[in-house]
Structure 1
Amino acid sequence: MSTNYKKVRALLAATEIDMGGMPVRQPFPTKRFPDIDPFLLLHHADIKVPQHRDPTKTGVGPHPHRGFSPVTFVFKGGVHHRDSRGNSQAVYAGGTQWMHAGMGIVHSERPPEDIFDQGGRQEIIQLWVNSPAKHKMDQPSYFPLTAEDTPKVILDNGKVVFNIVSGEFMGTKGPIPTLSPVTTATGSLQAGGSAFISVQENYQSFLYLLDGKIRIDGYGIVEGENAVLFDTTGKDIGIEALEDTRVLWGSGQPIGEKIMTYGPYVMNDQTQILEAMRDYQMGKMGVLVE
């Protein structure tokens, strides 16, 4: 038993909001937690793709980003990413689309053409990860990661499986490079399975439950569609699944810089936001013609 447990700072319910006609669940940001530095936003969507429409015309059409990394974790179906730098890649369940928007990029995220062969549903989480000021105007970069290329950590006789996307988790490194120390992993826990997570001191960390139910040592029971935000002090977290449960884990070193956000842009001051708007309108972030 650990004597240095991380306490639960807050339990954030993933309330449903409307994102341009698409229902998503959002545990953060909230008024109390406008960000969880370096994590800015989490959206959980589970969508049935309409059969009467061309899937390449549904989903999220071309839009710009600057100054952070929009990351999409795919749990069901698939996502086809296209961008103004010429990238075009479909990633399916168990995979991840990680894009450093840098100085600016236009991208779309739509169901792949064969989505109905994959069950006709898209279940994804999009996590926005802030970029340090010194990297906000880097050249954009894009990293597609398939389920097959994602390292796994298997615990408790196979009852617990974590898929390591970035950073280092339980001694295993994820393949996606990050602009500041950020660890992300998806996990599935069978009922009765347990895991012990150690986190670097002073890192922000959260655990989002897509479904199911777990018990956290020293805290109690947490049900699906909630995010558990942990204190930055302490380093150990013990969890036990009371039902089959899927989770997203995130931890990162706080960047500690003032941020200014406006729609798809995350910068450090108002002038930079206005520059981003101008640069997009002038075509400096490129053009995406689908």
Structure 2
Amino acid sequence: MKKKVKAIHTGIYDPIADLKTWRAMPTQDINNLDPFLFLNHHGPQKYGPDNNGLPFGPHPHRGFETLTFVLQGDITHKDSVSGESVINAGGIQWMTAGSGLIHAEVSSDEFKKEGGMEEVIQLWLNLPSKLKMTEPNYLGLQKDKIPAVKTEDGLGTVHLVSGHYNGEKGPVESLTGLFTSTINLSEKGEFQIELPDDNQVLLYVINGNIDIDGHQGQTHQLIELSLEGNELSFFANEDSQLIFCFGKPFNEPIFAHGPFVMNTAEEINQAIDDFQSGKLGTMNI
């Protein structure tokens, strides 16, 4: 049974400081796609020499994970637990906030000096109640550590972060069994996959135009699909780049307040108290 398109949501332009940003989720149209909580698309944007770089200084998180795709430019990750890592174009950052930490996502000194193109997508991945207070962790992977797996027709490439595809395994072990990837499809290329029943799909068009279930998805659009069905296919009307992920919904209450995502209001209040009392650590940049 094929998955059906329920709705197509166009991201909202919502710049952060001087950084061009399209927010695909949450918006007035869609709050989340359990277990996927949030998607921000920053750039593409050209920075000149002697720029200030990305504007994401130190801030806290608790109760979920972040997956950051570095499409162009770079990101310097710093946090109160694991230290520092610079990831370049084609790489990813996977951070388990869990019980809580403070981190910053800024540009490298080289990028701030020289400038260049920058494009980044960040996705928030929920954790179930039993894992929300798990130990924080960070993993940064460069492009050469991420398998590039050809699609069946040879006209596409799946950059596999977690999960399995065509006999390959992604380098990240998702705590919740998520499949995560980016896909590049050449014009007329087709992507097909069988996935477990009742899994939620997150499909976002970074750029390009695809046909799926009789609908078109275009740049900055999030395609909401039915939970029912275990077959999915789409093809590219032009060269296209997408984020494609899927996982089983948790079906738990979601209480979100800024950088904290928990199950109850009381847990949110505790997260705020813990942050303000310094229990999530400290850091300076």
Per-residue deviation, 1:157: 5.6
Give the corresponding residue for 2:272: 277
String of CA shifts for 1:183-240, please: whole Å, max 9, x gaps. Answer: 1101111112112122211000021111111112x32322211111111111112211
Unaligned runs of 5+ residues in structure 2 are none
Q: Contact conserved, 1:214 with 1:239, CA < 8 A, in 2?
A: yes
For 1:184 and 1:213, how far apart are their aligned partners in 2? 20
Is 1:10 the counterpart of 2:16 in the alignment? no
- Asked whether 1:287 is paired with 2:282, we answer yes
Q: Give the 3 Å change call, closer, same or farther, for CA 18–116 of structure 1 in structure 2.
A: closer
Match of 2:190 in 1: 194
Preserved CA contact (<8 Å) 1:169 1:183: no
Deviation at 1:286, TM superposition (A): 0.6
Task: Give the counterpart of 1:103 among 99, 110, 117.
Answer: 99
CA 207–170 in structure 1, closer or farther in 2 if over 3 Å, else same: farther
Contact 1:115/1:121, CA 8 A, preserved across alignment: no
From 144, 155, 158, give the equivalent of 1:148.
144
Q: Does 1:133 align with 2:126?
A: no
Q: Secondary structure at the match of 2:144?
A: coil
Number of aligned pairs?
A: 284
CA distance 1:171–1:201, change in 2 (3 Å): farther
Distance 2:82 2:3 in 1: 43
Is 1:205 the counterpart of 2:197? The answer is no
- Partners in 2 of 1:170 and 1:157 — Cα distance? 12
Any idea what SS the aligned residue of 2:93 has?
A: strand
- Say which SS state the counterpart of residue 271 (structure 2) adopts: helix
Query: Partner of 1:246 in structure 2?
Result: 241
- CA distance change for structure 1 residues 238 and 54 in 2, over 3 Å: closer, same or farther? closer
In the aligned structure 2, how far is the partner of 1:215 from the partner of 1:43? Answer: 23
> What SS does the aligned partner of 2:252 have?
coil
Q: Please tell me whether the aligned partners of residues 105 and 140 of structure 1 are also in contact (alpha carbons under 8 angstroms).
A: yes
Hey, what does 2:60 align to over in structure 1?
64
CA shift for structure 1 position 168: 2.3
Q: Which residue of structure 2 lines up, in the alignment, with residue 226 of structure 1?
A: 221
How far did 1:117 drift?
8.7
Compute the RMSD of aligned alpha carbons: 1.8
Matched position secondary structure for 2:278: coil
Q: Say which is worse superposed, 23-32 or 10-19, in terms of deviation.
A: 23-32
The equivalent of 1:33 in structure 2 is: 30
1:29-84 deviations in Å (ceiling 9; x for gaps): 233431100000100011333533354xx431000000001211111011110000
Q: Could you tell which deviates more after superposition, 196-205 or 157-166?
A: 157-166
Secondary structure class of the residue paired with 1:138: coil
Q: Do structure 1's residue 175 and structure 2's residue 171 form an aligned pair? A: yes
* TM-score computed with the length of structure 2 as normaliser: 0.94
Which deviations, in whole Å up to 9, do the C-alpha atoms of 1:101-135 show, x marking residues without a partner? Answer: 01111000011222269861210110000011111
Number of the residue aligned with 1:49: 47
Secondary structure at 2:86's aligned position in 1? strand
**Matched letter for residue 177 of structure 1:** E
- Give the direction of change, closer, same or farther, for the CA distance of 1:94–1:82 in structure 2 (3 Å limit): same
Paired amino acid for 1:29: P
Name the amino acid aligned to 1:107. H
- Residues in 2 aligned to 1:211 and 1:32: alpha-carbon distance in whole angstroms: 21
User: TM-score, structure 1 length as denominator?
Assistant: 0.92
Residues 187 and 238, structure 2, Cα contact 8 Å, conserved in 1: yes
